[in-house]
Structure 1
Amino acid sequence: MTESLMGWLSPAVALVFLGLAVLLLIVIWSIKRHRSPKLKIESGASIEDLMPSLAGLTLGTAVPGNTVEVLENGAFFDVLLKQIAAAEKSVHFETFLWKDGVLGQRMADALSERARAGLKVRVLLDAVGSKEVGEAARQQMQAAGCRVAFFHKKSIYNIGVMNDRDHRKLVVIDGREAFVGGHCIVDTWLGNAEDIHHYADLSVRLHGPIVHSVQAAFSENWGGQTGELFLGDAVFPALEPVGDVMIHAAYAKPEGSAPAVKILHHTVICLARQRIWIQNPYFIPKPEAIDAMGAAVKRGVDVRVLMPATSGSDNPMVQHAGHRNFEKLLRCGVRLFEYPHTLLHQKVMTVDGKWSAIGSSNFDDRSFDTNDEITLGILDPAVAQRLDAVFEKYAPQCKEIELEAWRKRGLWHKLKDNWFYLFSQVL
């Protein structure tokens, strides 16, 4: 009787667990769906007149009185390391990807030296992206007095947020200077994009009141992981205007609504009147984004996208997933350029030669709906011109995708495109 009862219970228990698993998946899907509405906006105003609106929609504030310096490829680290060495009170460092190597050791040495000098040095690393940081580097920094924390470590307590990664790349020094962009702490980010082993990237160096916004972004995740709140002149000093550039920072990810970076990217596409030039390593736009780009083309907007080809990418699966919608983009009139020689990792968009977005956000579901990101909206024609010059530097070495030739690509290519697109939300 007991064996018979156990034999009957086993399938029943299995069905119960299966039902609970299906229910959990439905709940997770429902939550994600609720945070990912189809965005719509109409406006006849010019983008330079709408900075307060862009900042407000993305839960920030447009801050005037700043300076911006664009830093390209490995030269970024020469400036960053020099400024870390000159820090007097605090260094806050946050990144997604840090791998043991020459660059990782240089960074660990610089941060350790400042901690030994008595500064408050806080280092926040994503637990997945920086799993190869190296035990020696981590121990070195902690022994020197750096406080090192990991975002969403593998733990039963984090099981519900393990897919949520900290993809931001930012540094704040003395609360007075900030760096934001795409650079990672991996040796392939050294050099000048001269070959497949040396990537291209862009970051910006900031001075002025906007530094408080970048510090706030760091504080958000630092406080969430460590419980430590910091305040005072060492981290939030009074900041006077030092230039004439207006900037706002988009990084908030409110519960039950679309994340700020997604709202920002979609809105500016809808506002463009002359041109939209996008540089992004992982370009997998959603249907509503493609429709918005198509509507922009109909308004007479020059829409171009620069990205790595599968031969240059560090993750060809992402490029194939993006390929799945190339035909629709091309039919809409969007021009697509693929760079075959190395990874173009810069995450940049310029609009009408006046406004720019730069930060950590890829143009895909993971960045727009899941990751913690930061993107700066910058109103300054000189910055837009500098970023467009980078586009123009790489474009002649690209292959521009043509609609008729693209439609004739091989069956195997098409199969890979459609297969990897199925996983586009987690790539």
Structure 2
Amino acid sequence: MIVSILLSTAVFIFIAVLLVLYFRGAFRRQPDYSLQRVPSPTADHFMAAIAGLSDSIELPGQITHFWSDIATVQAERLKAIKSAQRSIQFETYIMTPGQRADDFAEALIQQSTNGVSIQLVIDSFGARSLPKRYWQKLRSAGVEVRFFNAFSWRSPTDFLARNHRKLLLVDQSQALIGGAGVSDMWDGVGEGETAPWLDTEVCIKGPVLTRLRGLFLQHWLDAGESADLSGVDWQAKTTAADETLLVTSGKDPSYRGSSIRALMQLYALSASQRLWIASPYLLPDRNTRKVLIKAAQRGIDVRILTMGSLSDKPYVYYASRELYGELLRSGIKIYEYQPSMMHAKLVLIDQDWISLGSANLDPRSFFHNDELNLSAAKSVLVSQLEQLFHQAFLKSQPVELTAWRSRSLWQKLYGRCSLLLYWQL
């Protein structure tokens, strides 16, 4: 009797999931970017072409700092918060109880006491483990806190869309963008981890901040709040130090149109020498896999740095490994990071182009989440990212096709079962 009830429940849940995916368009034919004569990253019109096809925007600005050490990332965030004179705006996905969250709250409360206007947009799912008293303490100090996309029975499937951005805006002088959450997990405290997580952050300045502030205010308005635009400098002046940056916001993606997916595919199509990608969650859809495979077949040095078995989501790790076969057979090199969780999201194209931010090579970043990526041509970061990749490759286990084929039956079953929920991974 119990077995029958459990089986019926499982079948009901499975059918319900299929129906939800069907009505959200998961099985709709997706755009296939079959483009010819794609401009190379060295072409003058490359950025304009990428911007137009990926719904991105070109703006002047400067990448002033790049950090890949988690302790430094967290320290620089606090330093930026403490430097604020007028305003702080922050949005993120993951926040969990611990020292990092406590340090963050303490810095915000101190600045709010000093008269700094503070607005937070926190993902309601990613921060679900923090108790109400944490937010009450912030609000009591004058910090404005809003939650992104809280569950509603009026539109329950909308809850699948999350805010995956990590953006800190301080005054109108600087912005920090990266992949790290506000959590002790990034310090490498998980079982088996011997080092902090691998993740990155950049500090940017210049007129591009106006666009970033607008993106933040969109989410602020989505949370049902009014926005005061009187204090925003919409006419920020450019300087000789500014370069052209490409901002891809990936807001409200769908199975029919995804800015992040278009961006990733266009990078693969444009590469002429190398395409190095760092993505912890490696679950590219069929069309993206095809584009990556074709790049490798053209002789492009395609390498993917991803998480190893020390993953914060083991089911995603084993699901990802089920897709390795065709990638490895095409000559794509896959490296599984060993010391701890690999959480960086990076792209290095040839010797000329970099991209970083919050987006993964997976269905959630492509079709569900609001993301934020920053790209630049001929950036000073090219050599720094190249060095970071080389160091990470040395700390990783290269995946060999023969070893992958001999993985255990348990791993295959675990991975295949996890892939049943592919569109939500």
Q: TM over 0.5: same fold? A: yes
2: distance between equivalents of 1:81 and 1:228? 27
Q: Which runs of 5+ in 2 are unaligned?
A: 1-11
Q: Does 2:167 match 1:181?
A: no
Counterpart for residue 297 of structure 1: 296
1:217 maps to a residue whose letter is: L
**Cα distance, 1:252 vs. partner?**
3.7
Counterpart for residue 118 of structure 2: 121
1: distance between equivalents of 2:329 and 2:56? 36
Equivalent positions of 1:221-370 (< 5 A) are 221-234=219-232, 236=234, 238-241=236-239, 243-253=241-251, 257-310=256-309, 312-370=310-368
Contact 1:208 1:243 in 2 (8 A): no
* CA 35–175 in structure 1, closer or farther in 2 if over 3 Å, else same: farther
- Superposed CA RMSD in Å reads 2.5
* CA 34–407 in structure 1, closer or farther in 2 if over 3 Å, else same: closer
1:62 maps to a residue whose letter is: E
2:62 maps to a residue whose letter is: N
**Cα distance, 1:255 vs. partner?**
6.8
Contact 1:120 1:146 in 2 (8 A): yes
Counterpart for residue 8 of structure 1: none
3-state SS in 2 of match to 1:226: coil
1: distance between equivalents of 2:66 and 2:354? 12
For normalisation by structure 1, the TM-score amounts to 0.89
Counterpart for residue 129 of structure 2: 132
2: distance between equivalents of 1:182 and 1:76? 10
1:410 maps to a residue whose letter is: S
1: distance between equivalents of 2:182 and 2:30? 31
Give deviations 1:261-319, integer Å, cap 9, x for gaps. Answer: 11111111111111011111111111211211111112221000111212x11111111
Equivalent positions of 1:37-76 (< 5 A) are 37-49=31-43, 50-72=46-68, 73-76=70-73
* CA 128–197 in structure 1, closer or farther in 2 if over 3 Å, else same: farther
Give deviations 1:81-123, integer Å, cap 9, x for gaps. Answer: 1111111111000000111111101111111122222222000
Q: Percent sequence identity over matched residues?
A: 28
**Cα distance, 1:230 vs. partner?**
2.9
* CA 397–254 in structure 1, closer or farther in 2 if over 3 Å, else same: closer
Moved more, 181-190 or 255-264: 255-264
* CA 26–177 in structure 1, closer or farther in 2 if over 3 Å, else same: closer
Counterpart for residue 3 of structure 1: none
**Cα distance, 1:398 vs. partner?**
1.3
Counterpart for residue 12 of structure 1: none
**Cα distance, 1:208 vs. partner?**
1.2
* CA 255–69 in structure 1, closer or farther in 2 if over 3 Å, else same: closer
1: distance between equivalents of 2:292 and 2:356? 19
Moved more, 202-211 or 51-60: 51-60
3-state SS in 2 of match to 1:345: coil
Residues paired across the two proteins, number: 408
Contact 1:65 1:242 in 2 (8 A): no
Equivalent positions of 1:180-199 (< 5 A) are 180-190=177-187, 195-196=193-194, 198-199=196-197
User: Which of the pair has more CA radius of gyration?
Assistant: 1
Give deviations 1:312-341, integer Å, cap 9, x for gaps. Answer: 111111111111111100111100111122
Counterpart for residue 400 of structure 1: 398
2:356 maps to a residue whose letter is: I
1:414 maps to a residue whose letter is: K
**Cα distance, 1:24 vs. partner?**
6.0
**Cα distance, 1:347 vs. partner?**
0.7
Q: Which runs of 5+ in 1 are unaligned?
A: 1-16
1: distance between equivalents of 2:100 and 2:238? 34
